[in-house]
Amino acid sequence: MAKRKTIRTIPQARTPMPEQAPEIRITNFEEVACGYRLEDALLEAERCLDCPDQPCVRGCPVGIAIPGFIRKIAEKNFHGAYDVITDTNLLPSVCGRVCPQESQCEGVCTVGERLEPVAIGRLERFIGDRAIAEGWTNLPYIERNRHKVGIVGSGPAGMACAADIAKAGCEVTVFEAFQEPGGVLKYGIPDFRLPNSVVDAEIEKLRQLGIRFECNTLVGRLFTLEQMMGEMGFSAVFVGTGAGYPSFMGIPGESLGGVLSANEWLTRCNLMHGRDFPAYDTPLQPGKHVAVIGAGNTAMDAMRVALRVGAEKVTCVYRRSAAEAPARAEEIHHAQQEGIDFQWLTSPVELVGDEQHRVRAMRCERMELGEPDASGRRRPVPVAGSAFEIECDMVVFAIGTNANPILGQTSGLKLDKRGYIWTDDTLATSIAGVFAGGDIVTGAATVIQAMGAGRRAARAMKAYLGLRDTDAVYLAAPTDPAERLFGIPRRERGFARVHLPETAS
């Protein structure tokens, strides 16, 4: 038997991820982080102590059996690792890329107490990408029930909910307003962080589970939630429509040409392929000097897209300091490497236009941090006499979003004070059988939080429909094929273990 690993015997440094050099990558939309090669993955898998506590599993919003799949990697059983992950998460290639692991699984990793934590996200991505390349699927045995479930919105919350509720045996239809599914994963997150081809591949796995996607369908207007629960015969509905409705600041000059929201900028570029204009018809009109307001992940994406479509200078304008910036540290680091100019503690007061009604400059003032506000962050206050101008021919607002009003306008859903959908602790809305989760309930948050909400809602829907919570099945101690029949653990199916008497032969 192999000697038990200790913190001293494992590789001390985290295996680096091969990356495109900044000066190369700003000329293309290929992924910045190229992913682990086989030898990288094997080396990094050695760093997991397989500790008894497994804090990483609790740190993961969907509870992936992390040490289990890493052990399979170390054994070079990659398909086995894929089965372990997909018992709880059907979208490993997405989550491995976009989860903020530093505040989730990797943030609590035991190794991380002394060394750099195990690169769980990179290993998950390695397995997810291998599964896509090899065409692996992990389709559980699904016992059909008679329930029809509708999912409104095909973003991360809807996808996660759809997967779980389909596994429970329901007939699932996902409705999407855009011409293709994926939500923010498609229109928002650019290809250099999450290629749309990866999202499509993961959606294909959902199709293999029997989930139908109906695009070009604007729920609320084409039909209402009440019609879905009534004449259309759905037993339950999950609403995961995202936040949308971008905020502006209400400063003068916001309607000038060249001023737009990050959602519009990213949608034109990513979903509508504006960056390939005129091969695709959606115009983009990239600026030469771009100023982006805000410092969240969306702002980072908007700035890095601007660089890649030819901006000479990109400035980030944020009214607090780097320490308060909501973007992932890694994203800010990548943006800095690519030459983004960060203007911390800076707030725009006016956008100035030229005679063609196009923006030509942003008038700003410097800020300093005062007392903490209600959110616990120190409130920025203007410094008197600090006004200055930033020359720019494009301004992108990435300061967050508000609730999308369509479902509120067209249904009896109870909304909260800010216009988001009200739910109870189980994510049930005020309409019986209708559940909601993700940004349309919480306001803008992360992909994995939305997925977590989708899964919580699925659990509540199963309880509402009187279905067995099959979550327990695929969370149970995984996945030795001998322990499973039709993909379901024998214990769960109620098989008794029978010990046959030794036959005398």
Partner 1 sequence: MSDFEIVARSDFSDVTFSLEVRHPLMARAAKPGQFVIVMEHEHGERIPLTLADFDRDKGTITLVIQAVGKTTREMQQNCRVGTRLHALVGPMGIPSHIGAAKKVICVGGGLGVAPIYPQARAYKESGAYVIGVLGFRNKGLVFWEDKFRACCDELILCTDDGSAGIKGLVTEGIKQSISAHADIDEVVAIGPPIMMKGCAEATRPFGIKTMVSLNPVMVDGTGMCGGCRVKIGEVIKFACVDGPDFDGHLVDFDDLMARLGRFRPTEKAALEAWQESCRLRGGAGH
CB of 177 to partner 1, least distance (A): 5
Using the rule CB under 8 A, which residue among 244, 438, 452, 454 binds partner 1? 244
> Cα separation of 473 and 493, whole Å?
9
Using the rule CB under 8 A, which residue among 29, 69, 82, 178 binds partner 1? 178
Stretch that binds partner 1, among 2-10, 67-75, 303-311, 401-409 (CB under 8 A): 401-409
CB of 248 to partner 1, least distance (A): 6
- Residue 334: both structure tokens together: 């990548």
Q: Helix (H, G, I), strand (E, B), or coil: what is residue 94? A: helix
Is 223 near partner 1 (CB under 8 A)? yes
Using the rule CB under 8 A, which residue among 135, 250, 481, 494 binds partner 1? 250
Which residues 6+ apart lie within 8 Å of 257 measured at CB? 353, 356, 357, 358, 359
Q: What is the biggest distance separating any 2 CA atoms in the chain, rounded to whole angstroms?
A: 100
Nearer to partner 1, 71 or 273 (CB): 273
Residue 28 CB neighbours (<10 A): 12
> Cα separation of 141 and 169, whole Å?
9
> Cα separation of 307 and 300, whole Å?
11
CB of 405 to partner 1, least distance (A): 6
Radius of gyration (Cα) for the chain, nearest Å? 24
CB of 434 to partner 1, least distance (A): 19
In contact, 239 and 440? CB cutoff 8 Å:
yes
β-partners of residue 257 are: 358
Is 335 near partner 1 (CB under 8 A)? no
Is 226 near partner 1 (CB under 8 A)? no
Is 61 near partner 1 (CB under 8 A)? no
Using the rule CB under 8 A, which residue among 80, 258, 287, 348 binds partner 1? 258
Identify residue 458 by its one-letter amino acid code.
A
**Residue keyed to tokens 């005062």:** 370
CB of 29 to partner 1, least distance (A): 17
Pairing of the two strands 359-372 and 388-391: antiparallel
Stretch that binds partner 1, among 22-30, 237-245, 297-305, 388-396 (CB under 8 A): 237-245
Which is nearest to 305 in space by CA: 267, 260, 269? 269
Nearer to partner 1, 36 or 178 (CB): 178
Is 321 near partner 1 (CB under 8 A)? no
Q: Show the beta-strand stretches assigned E in 110-205.
A: 148-152, 171-175
CB of 203 to partner 1, least distance (A): 17
> Cα separation of 416 and 279, whole Å?
44
Nearer to partner 1, 202 or 439 (CB): 439
Nearer to partner 1, 38 or 222 (CB): 222
Q: What value, to the nearest 5°, has the Cα angle with vertex 177 and ends 175 and 182? A: 75
In contact, 75 and 83? CB cutoff 8 Å:
no
Is 281 near partner 1 (CB under 8 A)? yes
Is 215 near partner 1 (CB under 8 A)? yes
Nearer to partner 1, 262 or 367 (CB): 262
For residue 75, is it left (φ>0), alpha (ψ between -120 and 50) or beta?
A: alpha
Q: Which of residues 414-433 bind partner 1 (CB under 8 A)?
A: none
Is 261 near partner 1 (CB under 8 A)? yes
In contact, 104 and 445? CB cutoff 8 Å:
no
Nearer to partner 1, 84 or 260 (CB): 260
Element (H, E) at 161: helix 156-167
- Residue 370: both structure tokens together: 């005062």
In contact, 379 and 347? CB cutoff 8 Å:
no
Using the rule CB under 8 A, which residue among 37, 114, 207, 221 binds partner 1? 221
Enumerate long-range contacts of 21-27, CB under 8 Å, 24 or more apart.
22/337, 22/338, 22/339, 25/192, 25/338, 26/304, 26/307, 26/308, 26/338, 26/339, 27/308
Is 255 near partner 1 (CB under 8 A)? yes
Using the rule CB under 8 A, which residue among 28, 143, 197, 280 binds partner 1? 280
Is 442 near partner 1 (CB under 8 A)? no
Is 179 near partner 1 (CB under 8 A)? yes
- Residue 254: both structure tokens together: 């916001």
Q: Helix (H, G, I), strand (E, B), or coil: what is residue 117? A: coil
Nearer to partner 1, 256 or 369 (CB): 256
Is 246 near partner 1 (CB under 8 A)? yes
Nearer to partner 1, 279 or 504 (CB): 279
Using the rule CB under 8 A, which residue among 10, 107, 277, 445 binds partner 1? 277
CB of 452 to partner 1, least distance (A): 22
Stretch that binds partner 1, among 50-58, 209-217, 290-298, 331-339 (CB under 8 A): 209-217
Is 197 near partner 1 (CB under 8 A)? no
Is 264 near partner 1 (CB under 8 A)? yes
Q: Which of residues 355-394 bind partner 1 (CB under 8 A)?
A: 357-358
Element (H, E) at 164: helix 156-167
CB of 260 to partner 1, least distance (A): 7
Number of chain residues interacting with partner 1 (CB under 8 A): 45
Interface with partner 1 by CB under 8 A: which residues? 177-179, 214-218, 221-223, 242, 244-246, 248, 250, 254-255, 257-258, 260-261, 263-264, 267-268, 272-273, 277-285, 357-358, 401, 404-406, 409
